[in-house]
Structure 1
Amino acid sequence: MQTPKEIFLELLKPNGRPERVLKQYEALYMCLNDPINTYLRGNRRRGSVSRDRWGTTISFPADAPGAIPVHTDDLTVCPDVTHWEETVHAPDLAVSCTAGWEDCRAAARSAAGEEKLLAGFMGTGIFEQCHFLMGFENTLTALYEHPDEMHRLIDYITDYRLGYVKLLIDNLHPDVIFSHDDWGTKDALFMHPDMWRAFFKEPYRRFYGYIRSRGCIAIHHADSYLVPIVDDMAEIGIQVWQGVLPENDIPALQRHLQGKLVLMGGIGAAIDRSDATAGEVCDYTRRTLRACCPGGHFIPSITYGLPGAVYSHIDRYIDETIDAYNAGVHLPAFPLPPEPRRSLAPRASAPTAAVSETPAEQGEDLLAAVAAATKRGQQKKLLALVDKALSRGISAQDILSGGLIKGMNDLGEDFSASRAFVPEMLMAARCMSAATAQLKPHLVDGGGVRRTIGSACIGTVRGDMHDIGKNLVKIMLEGSNIEVYDLGADVAPETFIQAAREHHCDIIACSALLTTTMQQMRRVVELARESGIRDRVCIMVGGAPISQSFCDEIHADLYTPDAASAARAAVDRLTHPAK
């Protein structure tokens, strides 16, 4: 009978013949207490806020699967990428991590035994290190605005990672290097595929090429939608992609890849809940196994980048279901699964800041030109066009609705269709903000107040510090002429209600990334009812673990899958309240 280690090695072969399906991480012993990890992450504990060796403030909520960086004006390590050399200083691992290797290696090898592969763990990959230092939004916009500085910063981080992995391999002697870097959300890359290739593909080719040259297996964790770059991942030396979300259409990827990558994951975080029953977990896992195992080169696991669900009973039910599956007789599945829901090739080349002018931009239609400049993130051009439109007697309200808002809406549609990505959204939002400020003296009614179609308070719910999705929704709401009161992250249900009453908001918008915080949304709905404002306020919910069925269950009003559709739904509700 094959050991878990032998099964894993069989999966790496194009024509391997594993005897059974592995149970999550059973073939890997993850060494998390080597001298480097102890030095870099030893103060990172659940329920704490700490500062790492780069100077980044790290929050690790007690019920979260992982830690996240905290960025404010006074905490961000690198607020200005044009001067990154002055503030960014990599920890000197060669000096600080010399002792303790022999004991660590012996203990890890003993724990791995003959049946498991010893995995050296490396968190916070190249892209993640950039946004740990700079903030997520600044990192993505800097790829456009300061490409030379970003290339130099990325090279600096890559050199650090190469020194790190050399030290780890030299001293731990692992079989596997397990490296983290998330490059997208559950249904889209953070950036255009060509942008990823321009900035991160070659650094990662160096990194994974070195790992492979030392005889180690290369595993990359990213619980993201990565279909557009999956061929690149195989090309640069990644052998196992761990954290594969079901949104990637795993059966179609198996058909496409033909064994070039082992896909490990398929069991999303939405099932990791305290109230998830045995039947629910087993049914979910059984569906995943039936869909994905026949395609081969697949390891079912929770999509987290370390073993263990937040709630221990989840792992037990997953493993029991895999055992039951292995006890059955399975034949190859025919016909072959369909192609992925989205193309494996990028739809278009990466957008650039410099775009040739259209006839509209030459003066035939100033509002169309305003919309185009907004969509493309061309701030200098946009402000000049707004000035020109005002000088020609076009009203500020028309410039706003027929130019700025139209441009944001067009970009939002491209974002929903994966033709545009987060950096373009952020740059357009900055343009929108600057142009709106320019228009502000003209955008007033008799009382000196800017005319908007309604107002919303928005926040990430209590216990959840993730704010990227919330910030994108805020951008799109403001771009749709809705006044937004941003409550931030880790917002108590009572705070949502208080803000809605104080500002007479038409909408309460709640975001969550962690399944452990979803129930806070239910409490927001309950408090809205108890406080007497439920009939006049629309409650919107969204985030990775949220679904329409959850929205219906808690009696919220609207669920949307992304920021652009959230803005469209909000506008529709505000302009057609009877719905």
Structure 2
Amino acid sequence: MLSKRENLLETIRGGHPDRYVNSYEALGLVIDPIMTKIGGFAYTMTPGDVEVNGWGVTITFPVGAPGPFPVHDEKHVLVKDITKWKEVVKAPPVVLTDEEWTDVKKQVASIDRNEQFVTAFMAPGMFEKLHYLMSIEDALIAFYDEPEAMHELIDFLTEWELSYAKELMKHMKPDAVFHHDDWGSQKSSFISPEMFEEFIVPAYKKIYGYFKEQGCLIVHHSDSYAANLVDSMIDMGIDIWQGVMSTNNIPELIEKYGEKLTFMGGLDNGLIDREDWTPEKVAAFVEKTCQENGTRYYIPCTTMGGPESTYPGVYEAVCSEIDRMSKVMF
């Protein structure tokens, strides 16, 4: 029987996995102290919290919501004029003391690297940082109206993230990176492939290029439609697209791109992670999805960006059904 790590590698290489990679089982996710100090994310907040993160963005985590959101009313939005972003955007520090890394280093040491990838968890990503700073409406408009300023801001954020990446490699030496950045709605990308190629791809080619040079596997989370961005994902160096929704026509993507990219998802949280969920509904959805997507270059998983669910019990039920389908499909 292959280890969880070996089974994932066989899956993404088109080799001979002996079962499905079950959701996040092969990824030993670690949240570093840089991200913890910046705050304002799902794993650093609890429902009901409101806080200002390290970038100066006010974040709220409404009770009952799947995660936190930036506050963008006139009082709280940070970047009100993109041409003056340098006056208000101040990067949080990435260089911490050795003592601040102590607990994370213990967590890393406890992960069996023969069984799992030590995986750095990074969020939010480049596109999300932009709309956290200025609101998604203003960010989308700025791509058109102020491209020069947007390029400057993206370059600034990219250099900051590269500095962050180097600290992760220094203190954690991860085998993989799990990077969040949502690029679309359920049925379309937020920006065109051409605009994505101009603004977003160069940043990720630098960031993911650095991690790839260090030997890291790249897992990118975008729980959205992004089938029109897959060529760019491959160009960036992404190995696994996590969060791929069923609206992307996953079987078609596997057929076209499977040798270059693995698709992790297909089990849309919006369809199964609901108040009215039942084990029977989960079982039927997992079975249908696995049968449609097959066993090559596919990892069945909920589309949520972590090993959890909004409603208690859903994630565990999904994992149980994936195990059952492994016995059917392999």
TM > 0.5? yes
Matches for 1:299-448 after TM superposition, within 5 Å: 299-330=299-330
Task: For residues 164-192 of structure 1, give each alpha carbon's deviation from its aligned partner in whole angstroms, at most 9, with x where no partner exists.
Answer: 11111111111111111111111101111
Task: For residues 374-394 of structure 1, give each alpha carbon's deviation from its aligned partner in whole angstroms, at most 9, with x where no partner exists.
Answer: xxxxxxxxxxxxxxxxxxxxx
Distance across 2 between alignment mates of 1:100 and 1:18? 39
Q: Confirm or deny that 1:253 pairs with 2:253.
A: yes
Quote the residue 1:29 is aligned against: 28
Compare 60-69 and 248-257 and name the one that shifted more: 60-69
Matches for 1:120-159 after TM superposition, within 5 Å: 120-159=120-159
- Greater helix percent: which structure? 1
8 Å CA contact 2:181, 2:220 repeated in 1: yes
8 Å CA contact 2:307, 2:315 repeated in 1: no
Task: For residues 523-547 of structure 1, give each alpha carbon's deviation from its aligned partner in whole angstroms, at most 9, with x where no partner exists.
Answer: xxxxxxxxxxxxxxxxxxxxxxxxx
8 Å CA contact 2:219, 2:239 repeated in 1: yes
Distance across 2 between alignment mates of 1:162 and 1:127? 16
3-state SS of paired residue (1:93): coil
Greater C-alpha radius of gyration: 1
Quote the residue 1:491 is aligned against: none
3-state SS of paired residue (2:212): helix
Q: CA deviation at 1:269?
A: 1.3
TM, length-normalised to structure 1: 0.55
Distance across 2 between alignment mates of 1:180 and 1:9? 21
3-state SS of paired residue (2:110): helix
Quote the residue 1:38 is aligned against: 36
8 Å CA contact 1:35, 1:98 repeated in 2: no
Quote the residue 1:391 is aligned against: none
8 Å CA contact 1:35, 1:97 repeated in 2: no
8 Å CA contact 1:36, 1:97 repeated in 2: no
Distance across 1 between alignment mates of 2:47 and 2:114? 32
Distance across 2 between alignment mates of 1:64 and 1:318? 20
8 Å CA contact 1:119, 1:176 repeated in 2: yes
Distance across 2 between alignment mates of 1:320 and 1:121? 25
Distance across 2 between alignment mates of 1:143 and 1:152? 12
Task: For residues 358-404 of structure 1, give each alpha carbon's deviation from its aligned partner in whole angstroms, at most 9, with x where no partner exists.
Answer: xxxxxxxxxxxxxxxxxxxxxxxxxxxxxxxxxxxxxxxxxxxxxxx
Distance across 1 between alignment mates of 2:233 and 2:257? 11
8 Å CA contact 1:131, 1:139 repeated in 2: yes
3-state SS of paired residue (2:28): strand
Matches for 1:509-528 after TM superposition, within 5 Å: none
Q: CA deviation at 1:62?
A: 2.8
Quote the residue 2:15 is aligned against: 16
Distance across 1 between alignment mates of 2:184 and 2:148? 23
3-state SS of paired residue (2:263): strand
Quote the residue 2:52 is aligned against: 51
Unaligned runs of 5+ in 2: none
Q: CA deviation at 1:136?
A: 0.6
What do you get for the CA RMSD once the two structures are aligned?
Answer: 1.5
- 1:127 counterpart letter in structure 2: F
Distance across 2 between alignment mates of 1:74 and 1:97? 35
3-state SS of paired residue (1:328): helix
- 2:128 counterpart letter in structure 1: E
8 Å CA contact 1:39, 1:97 repeated in 2: no
Distance across 2 between alignment mates of 1:164 and 1:227? 29
Distance across 2 between alignment mates of 1:111 and 1:216? 16
Unaligned runs of 5+ in 1: 331-579
Matches for 1:541-560 after TM superposition, within 5 Å: none
Identity of aligned residues (%): 37
Structure with higher RCO (Cα < 8 A, 6+ apart): 2
Quote the residue 2:77 is aligned against: 76
Distance across 2 between alignment mates of 1:211 and 1:111? 20
Task: For residues 37-95 of structure 1, give each alpha carbon's deviation from its aligned partner in whole angstroms, at most 9, with x where no partner exists.
Answer: 2211275322211110000010112322221111011111110001110011111211x
- 1:37 counterpart letter in structure 2: M
Distance across 2 between alignment mates of 1:55 and 1:273? 33
Distance across 2 between alignment mates of 1:53 and 1:247? 35
Task: For residues 494-525 of structure 1, give each alpha carbon's deviation from its aligned partner in whole angstroms, at most 9, with x where no partner exists.
Answer: xxxxxxxxxxxxxxxxxxxxxxxxxxxxxxxx
8 Å CA contact 1:122, 1:178 repeated in 2: yes
3-state SS of paired residue (1:299): strand
3-state SS of paired residue (2:204): helix
Quote the residue 1:398 is aligned against: none
Distance across 2 between alignment mates of 1:48 and 1:183? 25
Q: CA deviation at 1:98?
A: 4.5
Distance across 2 between alignment mates of 1:276 and 1:250? 23
8 Å CA contact 2:223, 2:303 repeated in 1: yes
8 Å CA contact 1:28, 1:112 repeated in 2: no
Distance across 2 between alignment mates of 1:304 and 1:200? 22
Distance across 2 between alignment mates of 1:313 and 1:290? 23
8 Å CA contact 1:223, 1:304 repeated in 2: yes
Distance across 1 between alignment mates of 2:329 and 2:209? 39
Residue 17 to residue 69, structure 1, CA distance change in 2 (3 Å): same
8 Å CA contact 1:105, 1:173 repeated in 2: no
Q: CA deviation at 1:102?
A: 4.0
How many residues are treated as equivalent by the alignment?
Answer: 326
8 Å CA contact 2:265, 2:302 repeated in 1: yes
Q: Confirm or deny that 1:63 pairs with 2:64.
A: yes
Task: For residues 325-348 of structure 1, give each alpha carbon's deviation from its aligned partner in whole angstroms, at most 9, with x where no partner exists.
Answer: 112255xxxxxxxxxxxxxxxxxx
- 2:91 counterpart letter in structure 1: A
Distance across 2 between alignment mates of 1:253 and 1:177? 23
Distance across 2 between alignment mates of 1:36 and 1:311? 29
Q: CA deviation at 1:97?
A: 5.4
Runs of 4+ in 1 over 4 A off after TM superposition: none
Q: Confirm or deny that 1:231 pairs with 2:231.
A: yes
Q: Confirm or deny that 1:212 pairs with 2:195.
A: no
Q: CA deviation at 1:319?
A: 1.7
Distance across 1 between alignment mates of 2:306 and 2:75? 31
- 1:215 counterpart letter in structure 2: G
Distance across 1 between alignment mates of 2:257 and 2:329? 25
- 2:58 counterpart letter in structure 1: T
